[in-house]
Structure 1
Amino acid sequence: MNLNLASQTALVTASTGGIGQAIAAALAAEGARVIVNGRSEASVAQAIEAIRREHPAANLVPLAADNGTAAGCDATIAAVAEVDILVNNLGVYEAVGFFDETDEAWQRLFEVNIMSGVRLSRHYLRQMLARGRGRIIFISSESGLTPAPEMAHYSATKTMQLSISRSLAELTKGTAVTVNTVLPGSTLTDSVKKFIADVFPDATPEEAEQRFIAENRPNSLIGRFIRPEEIGAAVAFVASPLASAINGAAIRVDGGLVRHIA
């Protein structure tokens, strides 16, 4: 399917690995000019090399900036004045019991997970509205709908993204700008692969995945981890002109993990 993205410029924050890199690759595969972002020039260069191995003709632009800070967002905006697509993918998480989550930890996750998207959207959405077209996509998590007790602060930021996204979507009425949120479920990134290998050291990667899902994600209807490329494909569609009727939505790409209907 041609998603008609060849003339579009996309900024994907935190796109040097995992879901972010898969989103950047999916957009690039559809012909978009993609700004690959990470905190260091080395990590950005490695991601660009990896994407080009799969997509040699990819139009990729490097951007080293820490968008988890106000100064980093300012640097991004200075380097990239306008975009057609903004994917607010940057986010950090940690598994810590509620009673051990310090004020500093709460503030750090709020600054990175929330304020990065707020600052960038404040700049780029204004321009999209002036042009009458554009896409903003927040990458949340199924934890935004099913909060995890071992990650109360992370879950809270993922829920807050749903509210922010819907609020911004209300500003787009009567335009071809859309603002949506995509909620991935448990996804098999490199860090997750290492984690489950440590949990099940005597199992093959396939066995470790099956055991982890059976023991920890029994609600999953697909019975496996989601692949980053599956998230990338969903985001690329939502970013495309073909998804023009999707606005203000929370789109679950969770493998059926979340049971409620809404």
Structure 2
Amino acid sequence: MKIELQGKLAIVTGSTLGIGLATAKGLAACGAKVVVNGRTQAKVDKAVAAIGAAVPGAQLLGVAADLASAEGCDKLVAAVPACDILVNNAGIFAPQEFFDTPDSQWQHFFDVNVMSGMRLSRAYLPAMAAKGWGRVVFLGSESALNIPEDMIHYGMTKTAVLALSRGLAKRMRESGVTVNAVLPGPTLSEGVEAMLAEEVAHSGKSIEEVGRDFVKVLRPSSIIGRLASCEEVANLIVYTCSEQASATTGAALRVDGGVVDSLV
């Protein structure tokens, strides 16, 4: 299978690091013009340079905008009024004891993880439908189904993302526009690497070894028994954005290493 996305404009939010960066790189390699987004111009410029070095001839546009607010979403839409592919990847996570998590933290997680994707989908979907073609992908998480007791506030937002994705897929029925959610499991992103850095320093083990220990203790149902790479997750996202995925919509597509112990 060869995925061709020439002539398509893709926006990947939160694409300066991790899964977002790997997704932007994968879409660019398939020929799409890719909009790279992050909160600061310096991070956006660095990501654009990295993708350009990895994918010679890549068509790239960088837009710095903090999508935690309506104003930040408006800034991105003003810079890029229409797109063919929208990957709602922007998101945050952090372990925190439920009884120590204030209202402001709950609201911030909801604004970043849910409202950003809602606002951008509301802005971009009508034009996709008018053209008869479009792809919207939300980044969920296995934590949407297995709510982690140390990240209840995070798990709640990812469950909301699944509801939003499924509902929008129904709303866009028979339009040529698909809406799906991709659910990663534990993934070796920069955020997870930072979370495990203290254990790496303390144990003297490699990040891969510490990652395996993390998975076996905290996600013992994992079948692969390790952290996935950002590229492994991005591969599924890129496919979901392709012409070949035209009959896949309203789905929660797991790339969780088998963490979710379910037949469907």
Q: TM-score range by the shorter chain?
A: over 0.9
Residues 212 and 225 in structure 2, CA contact (< 8 A), matched pair in contact too: yes
User: What residue number does 1:97 align with?
Assistant: 97
Determine helix, strand or coil for the equivalent of 2:21. Answer: helix
User: What residue number does 1:193 align with?
Assistant: 193
| Matched AA of 1:126 | P
Residues 178 and 246 in structure 2, CA contact (< 8 A), matched pair in contact too: yes
Q: Cα deviations across residues 37-67 of structure 1 (Å, max 9, x unaligned)?
A: 0111100010111112211221111111111
Determine helix, strand or coil for the equivalent of 2:226. Answer: coil
Aligned-partner Cα distance in 1 for 2:90–2:229? 18
Q: CA deviation at 1:182?
A: 0.3
Determine helix, strand or coil for the equivalent of 2:35. Answer: strand
User: What residue number does 1:115 align with?
Assistant: 115
Determine helix, strand or coil for the equivalent of 2:150. Answer: helix
User: What residue number does 2:88 align with?
Assistant: 88
Aligned-partner Cα distance in 2 for 1:209–1:21? 21
Residues 68 and 115 in structure 2, CA contact (< 8 A), matched pair in contact too: yes
What are the equivalent positions in structure 2 for 1:244-255 lying under 5 Å apart?
A: 244-255=246-257
Aligned-partner Cα distance in 2 for 1:206–1:174? 44
Aligned-partner Cα distance in 1 for 2:17–2:200? 24
Q: Cα deviations across residues 53-89 of structure 1 (Å, max 9, x unaligned)?
A: 2112211111111111100111111110110000000
Residues 208 and 227 in structure 2, CA contact (< 8 A), matched pair in contact too: no
Q: Cα deviations across residues 186-235 of structure 1 (Å, max 9, x unaligned)?
A: 00012322332311422133322222222222211111110000111110
Tell me the matched-pair count. Answer: 262
What are the equivalent positions in structure 2 for 1:161-180 lying under 5 Å apart?
A: 161-180=161-180
User: What residue number does 2:48 align with?
Assistant: 48
Aligned-partner Cα distance in 2 for 1:210–1:237? 27
Determine helix, strand or coil for the equivalent of 1:149. Answer: coil
RMSD of aligned alpha carbons: 1.1
Aligned-partner Cα distance in 2 for 1:198–1:163? 35
Q: CA deviation at 1:139?
A: 0.3
Moved more, 154-163 or 45-54: 45-54
| Matched AA of 1:249 | A
User: What residue number does 2:74 align with?
Assistant: 74
User: What residue number does 2:58 align with?
Assistant: 58
User: What residue number does 1:34 align with?
Assistant: 34
Residues 141 and 184 in structure 2, CA contact (< 8 A), matched pair in contact too: yes
User: What is the TM-score when the length of structure 1 is the normalising length?
Assistant: 0.97
Residue identity (%): 47
Aligned-partner Cα distance in 2 for 1:60–1:98? 41
Aligned-partner Cα distance in 2 for 1:103–1:206? 35
Asked whether 1:137 is paired with 2:137, we answer yes
Aligned-partner Cα distance in 1 for 2:152–2:139? 18
Determine helix, strand or coil for the equivalent of 1:95. Answer: coil
Residues 85 and 134 in structure 1, CA contact (< 8 A), matched pair in contact too: yes
Asked whether 1:21 is paired with 2:13, we answer no
Determine helix, strand or coil for the equivalent of 1:42. Answer: helix
Moved more, 149-158 or 214-223: 214-223
Structure 1 residue ranges, 4+ long, deviating more than 3 angstroms after superposition: none
Structure 1 unmatched runs, 5+? none
What are the equivalent positions in structure 2 for 1:202-221 lying under 5 Å apart?
A: 202-221=204-223
Residues 135 and 179 in structure 1, CA contact (< 8 A), matched pair in contact too: yes
